[in-house]
């Protein structure tokens, strides 16, 4: 014990410095237990009696503290004539406690999600006009957009326009389409500006998406099963604030707006974006050519493809990239087509071509 007595001033100093320590409370170690633990750490092989001498606490209280620390894997007992105590490897022991705490937090998070789902299912009074929840930050809006799709049973209605909180690629949609969920999407031309966007939309349409296009949309949104909607509160990037609307007359109004714009929008026809067939010259029942107007007689495959892209509302640069031509050459071709179709704007030309079955 003489060796320990020589160390006692240093041990007392360490314990005194750590008397107010609370660093381990986060893993369930009280301030008192941490003080005892650090005392053992400062002097491996210390006895209960020696801890009593240094701390001024009763032997019973110190013994109880050591038992709690032992249960958490922080200290171990060295057997002998006079039982002594030492610490286990602090890094290993404390990291183990942190992993246990993390597991408990994960379980608590899962429980919170379950309770939140129950609250949203039965905790709303329809007579109160539904529920509104502000979504702070693009991450929260993206999380809810994904979650609402995962919960969809019948239909997802979408206004698709930039800016985006997620990449334009939607990995959930194809699987949901195959499972029977109906997707109807109204795009704006800017939605096709991304590299690969035309191929992506074409794949979604092939999988079952119903897609139409308008020159502009009032905002972006997604409505699931005509019951819940998520949308940003402004359209200026970044989308810092959004709103989740559940079971209210506002959702009914948004569905009505979607249906009205859906009727006005033009179908997206990706099969004409790449390999458009030539327009046959009009003929009567005997096969004799008749005068069908210059727009029908002179449209070749490239003109039909150009009209299909116009009908989709793509901008000049995007169309030029698709056709492999320069914007200047494209503008000359556009001018010629507008004259042929007696159209004032590019979108009118595409719309007229679609209505006349030229594309």
Mean pLDDT score, 214-237? 91
Mean pLDDT score, 82-108? 84
Backbone angles phi, psi at 251, to 5 degrees: -65, -40
Model confidence over 315-359: pLDDT tens digits?
Answer: 788 778 777 788 888 888 888 888 877 777 766 776 677 666 666
The confidence score (pLDDT) of residue 138 equals: 87
> 20 with 31: CB under 8 angstroms?
yes
Q: If pLDDT is split at 50, 70 and 90, which confidence band does 222 have?
A: very high
**Which conformational region is residue 114 in: left (phi greater than 0), alpha (psi within -120 to 50 degrees), or beta?**
alpha
- Give the span between the Cα atoms of 38 and 60, in whole angstroms: 18
Query: Any idea which residue has 């005068």 for tokens?
Result: 291
Give the largest CA-CA distance in the chain.
Answer: 123
- Give the span between the Cα atoms of 64 and 86, in whole angstroms: 15
The confidence score (pLDDT) of residue 146 equals: 92
Backbone angles phi, psi at 342, to 5 degrees: 55, 45
Model confidence over 235-273: pLDDT tens digits?
Answer: 888 888 899 999 888 899 999 999 999 998 888 877 655
Q: Of 216, 255, 250, give the one whose Cα is nearest residue 233.
A: 250
Strand partners, 309: none
> 204 with 173: CB under 8 angstroms?
yes
Query: CA 112 → CA 115, 136, 139, 145, 352, distances in Å?
Result: 5, 19, 19, 19, 54
> CB neighbours (10 Å) of residue 325?
15
Q: Which pairs count as long-range contacts for 291-299, CB under 8 Å and 24+ apart, including other chains? A: 294/340, 295/340, 295/341, 295/353, 295/356, 295/358, 296/356, 296/358, 298/340, 299/358
pLDDT at 224 over 80: yes
Pair of tokens at residue 23 = 């660093």
Pair of tokens at residue 139 = 């991450």
CA dihedral of 95, 97, 99, 104, whole degrees rounded to 10: -160
Q: Cβ contacts of residue 359 below 8 Å, gap of 6+?
A: 269, 272, 276, 304, 307, 308, 311, 350, 353
> 28 with 104: CB under 8 angstroms?
no
Q: Calculate the average pLDDT of the chain.
A: 78
The confidence score (pLDDT) of residue 132 equals: 86
| Element at 310 (helix H, strand E) | helix 301-311
Beta pairing, strands 241-246 & 182-187:
unpaired
| pTM attached to this predicted model | 0.52
- Give the span between the Cα atoms of 53 and 8, in whole angstroms: 10
Query: Any idea which residue has 């949609």 for tokens?
Result: 173
C-alpha 233: how far from its chain's center? Answer: 17
Q: What number of H helices and E strands is found in the chain?
A: 14, 10
pLDDT at 5 over 90: no
Model confidence over 135-181: pLDDT tens digits?
Answer: 988 889 999 999 999 999 999 999 999 888 876 667 789 999 999 99
- Give the span between the Cα atoms of 138 and 151, in whole angstroms: 20
């Amino acid at each position: 014990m003489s060796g320990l007595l020589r160390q006692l001033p240093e041990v007392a100093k360490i314990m005194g410095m750590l008397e107010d320590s609370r660093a381990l409370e986060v893993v369930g170690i009280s301030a008192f237990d941490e003080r005892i633990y650090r005392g053992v750490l400062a002097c491996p092989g210390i006895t209960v009696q020696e801890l009593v001498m240094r701390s001024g606490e009763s032997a019973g209280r110190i013994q109880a503290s050591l038992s709690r620390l032992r249960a958490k894997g922080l200290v171990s007992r060295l057997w002998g004539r006079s039982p002594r105590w030492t610490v286990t490897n602090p890094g290993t022991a404390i990291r183990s406690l942190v992993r246990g705490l993390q597991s408990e937090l994960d379980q608590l998070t899962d429980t919170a999600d379950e309770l939140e789902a129950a609250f949203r299912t039965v905790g709303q009074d329809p007579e109160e006009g539904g529920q509104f929840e502000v979504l702070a930050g693009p991450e929260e809006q993206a999380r809810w957009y994904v979650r609402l799709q995962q919960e969809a049973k019948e239909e997802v209605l979408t206004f698709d326009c930039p800016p985006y909180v997620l990449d334009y690629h939607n990995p959930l949609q194809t699987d949901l389409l195959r499972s029977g969920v109906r997707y109807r999407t109204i795009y704006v031309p800017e939605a096709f500006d991304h590299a690969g966007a035309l191929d992506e939309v074409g794949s979604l349409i092939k999988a079952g998406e119903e897609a139409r296009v308008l020159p502009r949309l009032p905002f972006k949104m997604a409505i699931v099963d005509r019951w819940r909607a998520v949308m940003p509160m402004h359209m200026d990037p970044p989308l810092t604030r959004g709103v989740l609307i559940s079971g209210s007359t506002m959702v009914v109004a948004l569905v009505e707006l979607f249906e009205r714009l859906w009727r006005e929008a033009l179908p997206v026809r990706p099969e004409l974006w790449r390999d458009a067939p030539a327009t046959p010259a009009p003929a009567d029942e005997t096969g004799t050519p008749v005068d069908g107007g210059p727009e029908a007689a002179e449209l070749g495959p490239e003109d039909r493809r150009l009209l299909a892209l116009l009908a989709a509302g793509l901008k000049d640069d995007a169309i030029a990239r698709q056709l492999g031509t320069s914007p200047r050459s494209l503008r000359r071709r556009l001018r010629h087509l507008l004259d042929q179709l007696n159209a004032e704007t590019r979108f009118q030309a595409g719309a007229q071509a679609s209505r006349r079955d030229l594309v």
